[in-house]
Chain A
Amino acid sequence: MSAPTIVSLPDPSTARIPKMNFLTRENGLLSWLLTGDHKRIATLYLISITFFFFIGGALAGLIRLELLTPQSDLMAADTYNKVFSMHGLIMVFLFLVPSVPATIGNFVIPMMVGAKDLALPKINLLSWYLYILAGGMMLYTMATGGVDTGWTFTTPLSTHYLNTNVVSAGLAVFVAGFSSIFTGLNFVVTIHKMRCPGMTWFRLPLFIWSNYAASILMILGTPVLAITLVLVVLERTVHIGVFDPAYGGDPLLFQHLFWFYSHPAVYIMILPGMGVISEVISTFSRKRVFGYTAVAFSSVAIAVFAFFVWAHHMFIMGISNYAALVFSLLTMMVAVPSAIKIFNWSFTLYKGSITFETPMLYAIGFMGLFTIGGMTGVFLGSTGTDIHLTETYFVVAHFHFVMVGGMLMAFLSGIHFWWPKWTGRMYPEKISQLAALVTFIGFNLTFFPQFILGTLGMPRRYAAYPPEFQVLNVFSTAGATVLGVGYLLPILYLTWSLKYGAIAGNNPWQATGLEWQTQSPPLTENFVEIPIMDHEAYDYEWLEQQQRKEVASVG
């Protein structure tokens, strides 16, 4: 039995990886470390975030192991606190925020808009160095005893009551923040100023729209986090500041400033993932995305509303009733564009011609999990139910559904989708489909029980818990094991495919984006000649005509 497929590879007997491409153009470590090429920087980013993902993942494994039993027997409470704090910090600031934008975005955005590079290649490289610096500081923090504030740095706990490495962790996040600001800034400039002739705003692939929206959030949100962390660090070092009530400060002010960034940050994390899903679903159903304009504007709407909802993290913290009301209402508003996207993607499948390669499997998984993650967000956005559910495992499950079930699925989908473009070789299809399935099953087994745990009232960040919660925690830990396998598989077979994968050719997926109209791996400056965009995005008829022409001219 052979499943129908759209994969069209060149004849394996004659196919060769183009001799001249961005990977082979220059050799030596220095040519990588001093590169200005967005594709090389994306590759550097890919390697470094994968590294940090596995560190964060290992910490997650430790957390799940500890929670296998009610007592804190694997590690002491202090150690557990450090482990979950480092897990959060690494995953949020060193993996999720840069994951899709800095790797896939960096790689494809210039090609998608038909440019030779990002507008500011040196700033792009600087952004990667800042990321590495931040990662180094984070590792230093971990090696010298860790930090146990949680990733939220709650004051006055972080400024006064702990004696762990809050300062170096805070500065690491500060630096990572600037890395993400520079990436976002670069994207916005590139999307505004570097589009090729004919590339109007409404011919841009939806991946560009969602990355644009996310970049705006990075530019406007991240500096507030930066200054907040500076104030935390100052308060810790000089023992006077604006957050600790003992000095006359206000801890709620910290919450306001912190969530002013950190709520939009979840959209920074998820929006680029949504962009990947738009590309993948369109390509594998051979159809233009249903309601292109609605999907494009829903990204922008999410970005705009994202800035008006932050206080929903503070409903039980004694903000004013009126503010709670307003922020809750606005939170409901931000849920609508996400719903629009889900339905538009579903209807993209309608009357399509669908095939189920790995990126598509991940994308379908994304749609299911993101629907659950999004809907449970409404539970927390509604003030009344938030009281019972917030600060419990319900929250943990909710954001893992969005971040891991949503963003990580999208990231893996994107990595598989653009892997042939990136390396010139195909990944092995069967085993990667298996990996997608394992990830999906493992994910649900890990995080679904946590919804029930949260409803039962199990608080988050507990090293030890009452015994009645054990059954569900065991399920969760078992699921985490499966999930771990699901994440290990891709790194193994993707590495394998670097050498043994089938030659992919220019456009194995028959996709329409400009990045597919050049060789794989692309040239250093992407195109031989700057392309001219003369068709709408996702115009599969244009693509067929194009191919017919080529065949005719060759024949």
Chain B
Amino acid sequence: MDHISPVLWQFLDKWLTHFSLFPPEASKIAPESDALYFFMVLVSLVGLTIVVLLVVAFSILYNKKRHPRAVQIEGSTLLEATWTIIPLGLFLIMFVWGALLYFRIYTPPANAMNIYVVGKQWMWKIEHPGGQHEINMLHVPTGQAIQLTIISQDVFHSFSIPAFRVKREAIPGRYTTVWFEATTPGTYRLFCTQYCGTNHSQMIGDVIVMTPEDFKKWLESSTSGNSLAQDGERLFASLSCNACHNAQPDARGPSLVGVYDAQLTLATGETVTADDAYLRQAILDPAQHITQGYTPIMPTYQGQISEDGVIALVEYIKNLHTDYRLQETLNTTELPPNNEKKAPAPGQQPAAQKEVKP
């Protein structure tokens, strides 16, 4: 084998070690998704085999040499009905099966841990609730349902983890969600699959799945000191949100304590659920989201807070289960009663300014 160039050997070696035909199954949904996939592959193979067999068999049996005169046949209603109804039935099975899978992938369980994902040209920013920030990396534990709340800061992106069989578009101006539960520790690819401009192909990263213990260690080692909710709290204070949303009886804004996931009645009479998307909209476009009994005095924050900032605020509001936290915020900012133009406490400004887009 001396005459084969070593370079070629290297190539072959590299290829063979890097070669795979099927992605790893590293999430709970992956085997379910693959079951349907293989069912479809099977149906396709059977269908293809039937067509190929028919064509080959007829080509041999009825070629001109063997069968010089064609016999004219009009058709056969029975046969045609057969190959209408059987594919239809199979397609309907695939439809129902696929729909069940679809709802499973896009309906997060109630106990899922929420991680925020912001897509921008050309990177993924990940915000853990504990305040850990990552770029093009996502650390997750096994055995825990993770819900991703995804938004884009500029154009369409798409957050795809092939090993988990999940994918969701990151849309500018709207939250989308997807969830998964990782099963096997390891490092997996993370892609942006929606074409998003020049460096689309650089918008890739790694998903690192760890055992819960390792994950805990990682969380502790990479914390930035503040949790995401604390970041939000600072921003909340620096934007003087608490001037009105202070849970006081005479407050000009509705109390935000326990507002998350509550049913709100708006000034228009509509009832809405205050989910992430609603909170985001209410911050950016308050005039359209007036809670019943309040006047539309809140200014818009469109263009003043980055998507990361909004996420921090939403996370903060989410965690306001009692007004204890709110009181704490009030205490730290020494809010004088009835003074609307309140400058934030000087000590908190730098941290907050990190979030505020000029």
A contacts B directly (C-beta below 8 A): yes
Identify which of B167-175, B226-234, B259-267, B311-319 touches chain A.
Answer: B167-175
**Per-position 1/0 for A252-287, Cβ under 8 A of B:** 100000000000000000000000000000000111
Q: A433 interface residue, CB < 8 Å from B? A: no
Residues in chain B near residue A333, CB distance under 8 A:
88, 91
Contacts A81-B200, A353-B62, A382-B94; is A367 near B156 (CB within 8 Å)?
no
The reply to whether B62 and A294 form a contact with Cβ atoms under 8 Å apart is no
The reply to whether A459 and B192 form a contact with Cβ atoms under 8 Å apart is yes
A-B contact pairs, 12 of them (CB 8 A): A287-B73, A290-B76, A292-B75, A321-B106, A332-B91, A340-B80, A353-B68, A355-B63, A382-B94, A382-B95, A387-B165, A388-B162
Residues in chain A near residue B19, CB distance under 8 A:
468, 471
The reply to whether B54 and A347 form a contact with Cβ atoms under 8 Å apart is yes
Q: How far is the CA of A391 from the CA of B99 in the complex (A)?
A: 19
Q: A375 interface residue, CB < 8 Å from B? A: yes
Identify which of B36-44, B131-139, B214-222, B235-243 touches chain A.
Answer: B36-44
The reply to whether A391 and B156 form a contact with Cβ atoms under 8 Å apart is no
Least Cβ–Cβ distance between A371 and chain B, in angstroms: 5
Least Cβ–Cβ distance between A334 and chain B, in angstroms: 10
- A 428-476 contacts with B by CB, 8 A: 452, 455-457, 459-468, 470-471, 474
Identify which of A14-22, A126-134, A312-320, A524-532 touches chain B.
Answer: A312-320
Q: How far is the CA of A254 from the CA of B11 in the complex (A)?
A: 45
Contacts A349-B59, A367-B51, A541-B72; is A154 near B195 (CB within 8 Å)?
yes
Which single residue of chain B is at the shortest CB-CB distance from A383?
A: B102
Q: How far is the CA of A349 from the CA of B40 in the complex (A)?
A: 27
Residues in chain B near residue A77, CB distance under 8 A:
198-202
Contacts A328-B98, A353-B64, A375-B43; is A154 near B156 (CB within 8 Å)?
yes
Contacts A154-B156, A162-B197, A470-B18; is A336 near B33 (CB within 8 Å)?
no
The reply to whether B92 and A384 form a contact with Cβ atoms under 8 Å apart is no
Q: B105 interface residue, CB < 8 Å from A? A: yes
Q: A78 interface residue, CB < 8 Å from B? A: yes
The reply to whether A346 and B15 form a contact with Cβ atoms under 8 Å apart is no
- B 81-101 contacts with A by CB, 8 A: 83-84, 87-88, 91-92, 94-95, 97-101
Identify which of B20-28, B289-297, B341-349 touches chain A.
Answer: B20-28
**Per-position 1/0 for B152-193, Cβ under 8 A of A:** 001110101011011111011110100000000000010111
Q: B3 interface residue, CB < 8 Å from A? A: no
Q: A4 interface residue, CB < 8 Å from B? A: yes
Contacts A318-B174, A344-B80, A375-B47; is A150 near B98 (CB within 8 Å)?
no
Contacts A378-B94, A468-B18; is A388 near B51 (CB within 8 Å)?
no
Residues in chain B near residue A470, CB distance under 8 A:
15, 18
**Per-position 1/0 for A330-371, Cβ under 8 A of B:** 001101100110111011011111111000000010011001
Q: A165 interface residue, CB < 8 Å from B? A: no
The reply to whether A384 and B76 form a contact with Cβ atoms under 8 Å apart is no
Least Cβ–Cβ distance between B113 and chain A, in angstroms: 21
Q: A392 interface residue, CB < 8 Å from B? A: yes
- A 101-158 contacts with B by CB, 8 A: 148, 150, 152, 154, 156-157
| A376, A387, A390, A461: residue with the most chain B Cβ atoms closer than 10 Å | A387
Contacts A346-B58, A385-B98, A455-B22; is A353 near B67 (CB within 8 Å)?
yes
Q: B52 interface residue, CB < 8 Å from A? A: yes
The reply to whether A352 and B58 form a contact with Cβ atoms under 8 Å apart is yes
Which single residue of chain B is at the shortest CB-CB distance from A76?
A: B198
Q: A240 interface residue, CB < 8 Å from B? A: no
Residues in chain A near residue B18, CB distance under 8 A:
467-468, 470-471
Least Cβ–Cβ distance between A64 and chain B, in angstroms: 16
Residues in chain B near residue A376, CB distance under 8 A:
44
Q: A329 interface residue, CB < 8 Å from B? A: yes
Q: A372 interface residue, CB < 8 Å from B? A: yes
Q: B351 interface residue, CB < 8 Å from A? A: no
The reply to whether A317 and B169 form a contact with Cβ atoms under 8 Å apart is yes
Which single residue of chain B is at the shortest CB-CB distance from A461?
A: B195
Contacts A375-B43, A464-B202; is A456 near B160 (CB within 8 Å)?
no
Q: A514 interface residue, CB < 8 Å from B? A: no
Closest 10 CB pairs of A and B: A457-B162, A384-B101, A382-B98, A291-B75, A245-B173, A383-B102, A349-B58, A384-B98, A4-B64, A391-B193
Contacts A372-B44, A376-B44; is A383 near B80 (CB within 8 Å)?
no
Residues in chain B near residue A464, CB distance under 8 A:
201-202
Q: A407 interface residue, CB < 8 Å from B? A: no
The reply to whether A459 and B160 form a contact with Cβ atoms under 8 Å apart is yes
Which single residue of chain B is at the shortest CB-CB distance from A84?
A: B195
Residues in chain B near residue A329, CB distance under 8 A:
95
Q: B48 interface residue, CB < 8 Å from A? A: yes
Among B70, B92, B204, which residue has its beta carbon within 8 angstroms of that of A285? B70
Residues in chain B near residue A350, CB distance under 8 A:
58, 62, 73
Q: B79 interface residue, CB < 8 Å from A? A: yes
Residues in chain B near residue A6, CB distance under 8 A:
64
The reply to whether B80 and A291 form a contact with Cβ atoms under 8 Å apart is yes
The reply to whether A383 and B62 form a contact with Cβ atoms under 8 Å apart is no
Which single residue of chain A is at the shortest CB-CB distance from B195?
A: A461
The reply to whether B69 and A293 form a contact with Cβ atoms under 8 Å apart is no
Q: B71 interface residue, CB < 8 Å from A? A: yes
The reply to whether A321 and B103 form a contact with Cβ atoms under 8 Å apart is yes
Residues in chain B near residue A540, CB distance under 8 A:
70, 72
- A 139-198 contacts with B by CB, 8 A: 148, 150, 152, 154, 156-157, 160-162
**Per-position 1/0 for A518-555, Cβ under 8 A of B:** 00000000000000000000001100000000000000
Contacts A77-B200, A321-B103, A457-B189; is A391 near B167 (CB within 8 Å)?
yes
* Other 19 A-B pairs with CB < 8 A, given A161-B121, A457-B162: A81-B195, A245-B173, A251-B173, A291-B80, A316-B167, A321-B103, A333-B91, A346-B51, A350-B58, A350-B73, A353-B67, A371-B48, A378-B91, A383-B102, A384-B36, A387-B166, A391-B194, A456-B20, A462-B201
